[in-house]
Structure 1
């Protein structure tokens, strides 16, 4: 009988600055907490603004004087592709860190997130050799004219708690492929995979100072990073309110900014849909990662002839979920990522009830003899709601699904577009013409048809309206990590 391997030993986390591991200057640390049981996983360095400044200075030197921006794209690609191989080598350890840090089920951490993370480094390593060239341009003047694509400079990357690994890789891989240097500020509550990736990139051959990772208090360090005069670009994933504050601060130094912000995405089921598949997709659209997904289909719009059936089936499916230990390979619904998020979800459930929505499933915390502690909240389904309620307008970022009826295609579009957000959308229908009409009509950066939450490194992600601007992934993201220079050479005799 094969024994289950012992879990990795998680050592103390230190800052990664100028290619070296170091403590915070004032010696401060903070605990990382496993949301499944409230236990302390380890301690990580709690950086000060002075530590952040040292990281920015290291990145600045590496960009202005170091080899990385001056390497051939082929040599940079070798490092990134080697990093992909190392991520695959250490998949079990990375998945474990992700699970104990934010509560994601280990089957998703290892089976979903780690392979996509490796794909990102491999994809952008290859893209560096094909998407970073310039072009010659015919002009009306006697010149030889061409463009150059050059890296932006020092990139400040700020990532949230819900997908620590993937959202950091979606920023680091293209930024590095383009020849930039980076200061990464991971979420205060989920820093462990970011530190592991820094170690793997160093092992892959990334020169010192090209990537720096600073852990610690999010608000203090985030503000300092955005305001720093030696940072050329900020890329941020998180709430709309914080994104707006970043734009205001970045205006002082005219930084480039990419923002992937909040969402309240509509997943639309027409009466002619394949209902078995639609219900399955709607369940995962609302409850994957315990609903802590920026593109979550948290508004389920269902055409009235099938509303009762779909709402009933999704509520029954949600009611049958038994949350479990995320380190158990059989668990597919784990805890919320941190205490603040747990409280927020509980408060919104009370708001929904007070506004007159009907609770069809869930609506309470979950504990059992096997799981007496932890930030578990049952998957929750509201029916009898309308699009004006707060639970339909505001991002909850948890396992709360609001089911809303509609009659016509035009009404579905109006409801779907009737929030400040525009990050993602879904459409379930057998009518191909309707699918294309809806994809064009929905004001969202992504539209999934007869599926949901599909991702690939080659496909861009980003939002309309208050869901941000700029794009992550795909060749489109390279525009935000490069600058274009025009060169004119006189050809007159």
Structure 2
């Protein structure tokens, strides 16, 4: 067995340990072995990052868009040059399967290049407020951006999300998840010699480290991807120290509504694909609620179970494996608990529902891909996000009933609609309360299409032009005649 990796933080252009000389272990969810450790960043480490970021941003704001763009392209190329190494490390650190992890690296580079090309769209307006005067607006950066990254797509979010902040003239401090921080340390190694010192800082640590970023008065722009409870805590903590702009991409309990005229084989394939079993269901956009019309319910459920039963569970580094272990013991216990609750409340376990058996599954955070049928909206699994490989199947008979079921949750992130009737598709698209909808497809995030949720699923959007503009503030300038 190889020696555990020792990660370093990136502060002021230097790869450093924590000032407190404390460390966090990173565990392989396959066998619970320690595969690495990273510094436990302290408030003093965050302060050092802020000082460096502040100095770097004052110089960066005067750099032309062309030069900013050239740097982002260089960073994207450097990231892809180590794509194989990063994806293998992330697979070991997260439990996610190797294929999607490799795509994550390339997707991150693609999104970085997208923002490098959108830089010239950071522009203001001329306003005809008076006949003789000149009234214009310009966009200015916030200064320092704080971004907190979740465990499920570590480098994809860390790398791609720094691009719009930098293109807008900001510096950035990134805090990766303590559950899967190792790839961020590789990112620190890659970028240490490519980026002006202090422009990008990566501070590893736990919730207290994140709180120090959130509460620092000089960090006026915060972005977070993660759970609703943590997002709300960030809003509260930020408001206690300063007026800050906070964007949140949070959880989802996402419906896939299937009408009786849909292609049933395509629906079954999409239902399994949309559940993101390759991430063990640990993806906020997963369509974890399958709403089937009565006429087709039994046929589709049978097809879905057949497909789920064929998923291969095992070591996620094996390209033939479809699903690995849960990210952590806490995620495993949460998932198994929800399955038990669902069964107690009357849902039927159509497939899975247990830990797999066998020698390779004796250690690690394993659970079978699970399909629950006979789920009612009165059940907890119908409304609460599990963030595990559990697909809940519902029946409906009337279109308005399906809309009510889809909307009767606190979330509103994604939704999928399956029908060949364009009028019905447009009606459902208007009525379903979700920020990102698919019609007769599922799962794909399209380039430059804004991604974000309604209700408790978040504030603001990412992945499009609006994300880059959200890292700017509007300044109005008025010239007298």
Same fold (TM over 0.5): yes
Across the aligned residues of Structure 1 and Structure 2, the Cα RMSD in angstroms comes to 1.5
User: Which position in structure 2 is the counterpart of 1:210?
Assistant: 199
Distance 1:177 1:372 in 2: 48
Residue among 71, 82, 96 paired with 2:74: 82
User: Which position in structure 1 is the counterpart of 2:179?
Assistant: 189
Taking structure 1 as the reference length, the TM-score comes to 0.94
User: Which position in structure 1 is the counterpart of 2:107?
Assistant: 116
Contact 1:144 1:490 in 2 (8 A): yes
User: Which position in structure 2 is the counterpart of 1:105?
Assistant: 97
Contact 2:115 2:468 in 1 (8 A): no
Q: Which runs of 5+ in 1 are unaligned?
A: 1-6
Distance 1:133 1:445 in 2: 26
3-state DSSP class of the match of 2:192? helix
3-state DSSP class of the match of 1:55? helix
Contact 2:26 2:37 in 1 (8 A): yes
Contact 1:385 1:402 in 2 (8 A): yes
Structure 1 range deviating more: 351-360 or 41-50: 41-50
User: Which position in structure 2 is the counterpart of 1:302?
Assistant: 292
3-state DSSP class of the match of 1:305? coil
Deviation for aligned residue 1:135: 2.3
Residue among 297, 320, 325 paired with 2:315: 325
Distance 2:434 2:179 in 1: 29
Distance 1:345 1:288 in 2: 16
After superposition, residues 187-266 of structure 1 pair within 5 angstroms as 187-203=177-193, 205-217=194-206, 219-252=207-240, 253-266=242-255
Distance 1:474 1:12 in 2: 35
3-state DSSP class of the match of 1:471? coil
Deviation for aligned residue 1:53: 1.6
Distance 2:3 2:221 in 1: 36
3-state DSSP class of the match of 2:295? helix
3-state DSSP class of the match of 2:290? strand
Distance 1:76 1:202 in 2: 16
Residue among 245, 250, 269 paired with 1:280: 269
Distance 1:141 1:247 in 2: 43
Distance 1:51 1:202 in 2: 17
User: Which position in structure 1 is the counterpart of 2:22?
Assistant: 28
Distance 1:195 1:138 in 2: 50
User: Which position in structure 2 is the counterpart of 1:57?
Assistant: 51
Contact 1:8 1:96 in 2 (8 A): no
User: Which position in structure 2 is the counterpart of 1:4?
Assistant: none
Deviation for aligned residue 1:10: 6.7
User: Which position in structure 1 is the counterpart of 2:117?
Assistant: 126
In the alignment, does 2:254 pair up with 1:269? no
Distance 1:375 1:314, change over 3 A: same
3-state DSSP class of the match of 1:291? coil
Deviation for aligned residue 1:319: 2.5
Residue among 400, 404, 407 paired with 2:397: 407
Taking structure 2 as the reference length, the TM-score comes to 0.97
User: Which position in structure 2 is the counterpart of 1:18?
Assistant: 12
3-state DSSP class of the match of 1:392? helix
Q: Which runs of 5+ in 2 are unaligned?
A: none
3-state DSSP class of the match of 1:70? coil
Structure 1 range deviating more: 455-464 or 227-236: 455-464
In the alignment, does 2:131 pair up with 1:137? no
Residue among 21, 26, 45 paired with 2:39: 45
